[in-house]
Amino acid sequence: MLFVPLQRKEVSYMERAIDKLEPFQRAISKAHLASAGISIDSLQDTNKPLIAIANSWNEVCPGHEPLRQLAAEVKKGVLEAGGEPIEFNTIAMCDGIAQGHAGMRYCLPHREIIADSCEAMIVGEGCFDGVVYLGSCDKIIPAMLMAAARINLPSALVTCGPCYDEIKPSESKALRARFLAGEATEREVIEGTLKYYTGPGVCPFLGTANTMGCLTEGLGMMLPMGALWPSSTSQRRFSARRTGAAVVDMVRRNIRPSDIMTQAALDNTVKLLASIGGSLNALIHLPALAEELGLSCTWSQVAEITSRTPVICNVVPNGDISCINLYKAGGIPAVLKTIEGDLDTSVMTVTGKTLGENLEGDILIDRSVIRTQDDPNSVAKGIQVLYGNLAPEGALVKTSAVPADQHVWSGVAQVFNSEEEAFAAYNAGDIRPGTGVVIRYEGPKGGPGMKELHRVTEIMKGIPNSAVITDGRFSGASGGLSVGYLCPEAYEGSPIALIENGDVLNIDLTRDLIEVEVSDEELAKRREKWAPVVHKNNGGLLERYAKSVGSAKTGAVVR
């Protein structure tokens, strides 16, 4: 059986905006819906929930190509539970395709577009009782969580899940290294990579996409196991179907996102993030979500939690296994069960049960993948917030992916005012071992758009004892000594804007420190001569974004 109804507390009506219209306009509005194929009986029956299917399906993003089929499964679940599904679409970019060129400037801004488009469609039409959001990738999942928080109709999320990998992450990495060394052709890279990304689905590593899926499950906005059922499985389809039914049940029980995404649930989610060693990008998405909810998720709060929460998973970039291995080891329920003692298990979830109730009973856990918290290999500070004269308001580093011999590091700065400048220097052979590659004017305002510099971190792994320091972002798959999200960003005249070639940089992860060996007096002299670098943005979206976006540390929220 695909769906077992929960015990329901029936309500006698739904509060749709169109049902409050004067009679003639109400009839005309419902006629428009009926002309699109919506059942007249459903429109007339105020006890039959109308469920929006907010789908980000497209044929560009591999994590979103399966969502058309999954939407059909969601509709089945809605109908089986006595609701009426109504689908619409929004956009979804693939960060992997946008890497390394100016298109990456659009990826973070499009988070706001998605949230706004869902708000416009759902609130604007005024005919929905609940929502199932379908999205799989980096900015789309947080955008939909933000929309769910803002709109506050009974809601749940569905992703397509990770694709199966046939080779280890290290084998995929070795193939890329061969290409960079001129030992593999473009076709060989494409065909070899298809053994790692074997088909449509979320990329198999613990990047931002899988991280945000896992956090959504931990937050209570997704059915148990919903994050990691693989994309090609029937269980993934069944999960989508059950989600459709669950949202109908949530409508009837009046369980809303504000009942689920509480401060306690957010704190649980940060603990989950720390435990799996997830993407640093979560630390711009969770503060943005917290703002939508009127709650708090600051970097200082995160640092306090991560400083005492051990990383218990080996998933790449923290090891050499994929999210499919994490799924086979028991998935997020197994992780939550492992850290249950640190969680507030009284929080509500989309199942209509508390987190504690969801975790009752035996959950099989593979301890070769999900360690216990007291395992000697489970070490805290998987994510750190660094401070110092180079980052007065903080910078982020994924410590779990930094080699131990680089936890205390010093080097000479080589400064670039864009990702493109850094690539040009690398291709010319101008970056030497021991260099601190500083890439600035890539923050939310300075980019504009806060590019993800994953390709830079990849090429820098081939330069011994090097580091990357930036006001831009990193992929969840990035490793090595990569310090980013630096605040304030260069565009605002912060110390990173004043660094010069040859300055000595110090990073000390044992002291949460990042600094430049330049006196305050010298920095003040440099500031007098400073003028911001302004990148061409061709007007339009990016220009508007630069004028209204906030700091990375508060979620890069557009106000």
| pLDDT tens-digit map of 250-303 | 999 999 999 999 999 999 999 999 999 999 999 999 999 999 999 999 999 999
Note the pTM of the prediction, 2 decimals.
Answer: 0.95
> Over the chain, what is the mean pLDDT?
94
Percentage, residues of the chain above pLDDT 70: 97
Count of helix runs (H) and strand runs (E) in the chain: 21, 12
**Separation between Cα atoms, residue 258 and residue 148, nearest integer Å:** 9
Query: Nearest 5 degrees, angle CA 426-CA 476-CA 150?
Result: 130
Mark 36-59 as b/e (b = at least 16 C-beta within 10 Å).
Answer: eebeeebbeebebbbbbbbbbbbe
Q: Prior bond to 62 cis, omega within 30?
A: no
CB 56 within 8 A of CB 91: yes
Burial class (CB in 10 A: 0-12, 13-18, 19+), 19: middle
- Provide the pairing of β-strand 513-516 with 504-508: antiparallel
Percentage, residues of the chain above pLDDT 90: 88
Q: Which uninterrupted H or E stretch holds 276?
A: helix 263-276
Query: Nearest 5 degrees, angle CA 443-CA 444-CA 447?
Result: 60
Measured in residues, the chain has a length of 559
CB 386 within 8 A of CB 513: yes
Nearest 10 degrees: CA dihedral of 481, 486, 489, 493?
Answer: -90
Bigger pLDDT: 195 or 173? 195
pLDDT at 467: 96
CB 505 within 8 A of CB 469: yes
- Name the residue among 499, 479, 495 with its Cα closest to residue 487: 495
Residue 18, CB-side half-sphere exposure with 13 Å CA sphere? 22
- Name the residue among 17, 555, 15, 53 with its Cα closest to residue 292: 555
pLDDT of 194 higher than 90: yes
pLDDT at 6: 41
| Helix intervals (H) in 152-233 | 169-180, 186-193, 208-219
**Separation between Cα atoms, residue 89 and residue 341, nearest integer Å:** 40
Read off the pLDDT band of 51 (50, 70, 90).
Answer: very high
* pLDDT (average), residues 8-31: 75
**Separation between Cα atoms, residue 195 and residue 60, nearest integer Å:** 19
- Name the residue among 433, 430, 434 with its Cα closest to residue 416: 430
Residue that the structure tokens 């994050």 belong to: 227
Q: Where are the beta strands (DSSP E) in 449-559?
A: 467-470, 482-484, 504-508, 513-516
pLDDT at 167: 95
Chain CA centroid to CA 509, Å: 24
Q: Which uninterrupted H or E stretch holds 237?
A: helix 234-253
Read off the pLDDT band of 5 (50, 70, 90).
Answer: very low
- Name the residue among 268, 252, 194 with its Cα closest to residue 48: 252
Q: Prior bond to 488 cis, omega within 30?
A: yes
Read off the pLDDT band of 14 (50, 70, 90).
Answer: low
pLDDT of 392 higher than 80: yes
pLDDT at 173: 87
| Helix intervals (H) in 36-157 | 40-44, 67-80, 95-98, 109-125, 140-151
Active-site residue, 232 included? no
Read off the pLDDT band of 27 (50, 70, 90).
Answer: very high
The residues that bridge with 386 in the sheet, in sequence order, are 395
Chain CA centroid to CA 204, Å: 14
- Name the residue among 371, 414, 369, 121 with its Cα closest to residue 228: 369
Q: Which of 475, 478, 482, 494 is catalytic?
A: 475
Q: Is the dihedral of CA 400, 368, 372, 219 positive or negative?
A: positive
Question: What digits encode the pLDDT tens for the residues 222-243?
Answer: 999 999 999 999 999 999 999 9
* pLDDT (average), residues 455-460: 86
C-alpha distance from residue 353 to each of 82, 358, 360 (Å): 21, 7, 11
pLDDT of 1 higher than 60: no
**Separation between Cα atoms, residue 376 and residue 358, nearest integer Å:** 29
Q: Is the dihedral of CA 404, 410, 413, 414 positive or negative?
A: negative
pLDDT of 191 higher than 90: yes
- Provide the pairing of β-strand 467-470 with 435-439: parallel
- Provide the pairing of β-strand 391-397 with 482-484: antiparallel
pLDDT of 382 higher than 80: yes
Phi, psi of 391 (to 5 degrees): -140, 75
